[in-house]
Amino acid sequence: MVISVNMQLRYNLFLLLLLVFLLPKVKLVAQTAKPSFVVTHTLNNNTTLYLPGQELFFQSNKTTTTQFNIIRAQDEYYQLTATIQSVKGKLYAFGQEQNFNSTDTAGLNRSELNWLKEIVNKPKTIEVKSSHAQQSPVQTNSLFDIDQEDAGKYFLPFSSSIIKTGLSWSDSTLADSSKTIHEYLVLKVQDNKATISVFSDLFIRTSFTQSGQTIRQQLKGLARAERVYDLIVGKMVSESVTTKLSGSSNNGTDIVPITIELKGNTSVSFK
């Protein structure tokens, strides 16, 4: 059986998209806080790939529940663990719908979802220095790096007494050739809660190997988030965010234009 380049590319993209929507990744910023909290993150994704002579559209939704534990907090250094408790959702691609649920033992026996058992209930240690998590040298097989939860947002960056309406600041993160620039503005302070708007410029350049192929991506775009913080405990309780990206994916043979729209919602409960 001979498989055309486009068919093979579509198949590889389908596998990659499964990994994208199922594999959550985290970066952390921390401050002194209660030792454990649970985060529920829901992500809805619309992605368009422009192949020669055809346009491919993908839809997905994913809900991930993760427990974080603060092990050590000293000056600007923090050590935490993140344990994924459950992952569930669905992916629609190529006219087919793929459902996944990490609590479905029978479903996990399907070969394309077996790897879920390797990430659920497997604590991972994260180190935080100077307000940002240290980048892992291990590259994951993800198609879009934007599919990340920056858990640093769960912690208010300043003392509650400093947070006032109109306060603004900015910061940036750099990982290899990717850069993100954030601008923050306190929109409202009321009833011991602060609403903060976050504008982010995203410049993503990554490469990874999937099915023996090296895939390189270049993406850029904007994200707009609105976060609500409890000023008494100094932590985020909810967030809504919309991200739009455009760029390309190159496997050495084909350059595929991509547009992406992500809509995410996050809720946090503290023990």
pLDDT tens per residue, range 52-92: 788 889 899 999 999 989 888 776 677 888 898 998 999 88
Q: What's the sign of the alpha-carbon dihedral 101, 112, 217, 119?
A: positive
Predicted pLDDT of residue 59:
92
Predicted pLDDT of residue 244:
95
In a 13 Å sphere around the CA of 59, the CA atoms on its Cβ side amount to 4
In whole angstroms, what is the distance from residue 31 CA to residue 70 CA? 9
| Chain center to CA of 25 | 6
Q: Where are the domains of the chain?
A: 5-270
With beta carbons less than 8 A apart as the criterion, state whether 100 and 107 touch.
Answer: yes
Instruction: Classify the phi-psi angles of 174: left when phi > 0, otherwise alpha if psi is within -120 to 50, otherwise beta.
Output: beta
In whole angstroms, what is the distance from residue 91 CA to residue 230 CA? 34
For 71, 143, 161, 249, 260, the CA distances from 253, given in Å and listed in that order, are 46, 17, 56, 10, 22
In whole angstroms, what is the distance from residue 94 CA to residue 47 CA? 12
Q: What's the sign of the alpha-carbon dihedral 197, 201, 205, 211?
A: positive
In whole angstroms, what is the distance from residue 64 CA to residue 88 CA? 7
With beta carbons less than 8 A apart as the criterion, state whether 237 and 230 touch.
Answer: yes
CATH number of 5-270: 2.30.230
Q: For residue 151, give the 3-state DSSP assignment.
A: helix
Predicted pLDDT of residue 104:
81
Task: Kindly report the pTM of this predicted structure.
Answer: 0.80
Predicted pLDDT of residue 153:
83
Residues of the chain with pLDDT under 70: 1-34, 75-76, 106-108, 112, 115, 130-149, 210-211
